Chain A
Amino acid sequence: DVKVTQSSRYLVKRTGEKVFLECVQDMDHENMFWYRQDPGLGLRLIYFSYDVKMKEKGDIPEGYSVSREKKERFSLILESASTNQTSMYLCASSPPPGGGYTFGSGTRLTVV
């Protein structure tokens, strides 16, 4: 079974802090994704990556950046956290050329 692990289940951060969300997958998948999920809005794609050191903006990249230094690890960075970034963050991975996604358990981030 593919396993996608997110480092934290719950996080509380202060406005202006730099926040790192880590995601690791163990099935050698090329594709990795970061989403946020808010009530009534569904899943919105923040960034994705199809290879090491490669990154592409999704639908809502503003205020975020990513890092993929190793194939198995995809990190989401909130450069200066704001209250409107309070959300559930979900990492996913998939094999090419676009297989089904496997999700991590999610990180519920609260920015105060």
Chain B
Amino acid sequence: GQNIDQPTEMTATEGAIVQINCTYQTSGFNGLFWYQQHAGEAPTFLSYNVLDGLEEKGRFSSFLSRSKGYSYLLLKELQMKDSASYLCAVRDSNYQLIWGAGTKLIIKP
């Protein structure tokens, strides 16, 4: 079956760096997405990786290793507004998005 694993919850301190991991086993691979979702709101797009390596976008970076079925989202200079859930999703061979359950990130002052 298809499976996306990510930690349920993480806690970090304001101003620090946090890495949220995602491992996947899917039928085919056509890209990996990271979305941010604040409580009670819809997910919003953060990043997309289809080739191995690091994609940087401001304070956020996303890394992909296709051979290991692994990705991470790196958040630097954490701010209180970064408290949210972070969803990892993989597009499979049918171009369907397979979603992880999300990682709830709690930022403490």
Please list the residues of chain B having a beta carbon within 8 angstroms of any beta carbon in chain A. 8, 30-31, 33, 40-45, 48, 87, 89, 91, 95-97, 99-102
Contact = CB atoms under 8 A, between A and B. Distances in A.
B91 A43 contact: no
Given A98-B91, A100-B45, A101-B33, 9 more contacts: A40-B101, A41-B101, A42-B100, A97-B95, A98-B30, A101-B45, A102-B45, A103-B44, A106-B42
Interface of B is mostly: loop
Interface residues of A, number: 17
Contacts, number: 39
Contact of B42 (A40, A45, A97, A105): A105
B2 to A, nearest CB: 10
Given A100-B45, A100-B48, A42 B102 contact: yes
Contacts of A101: 33, 43, 45, 97
A42 B99 contact: yes
Interface string A89-112: 010000001101111111010000
Nearest to B30: A98
A102 B96 CA distance: 14
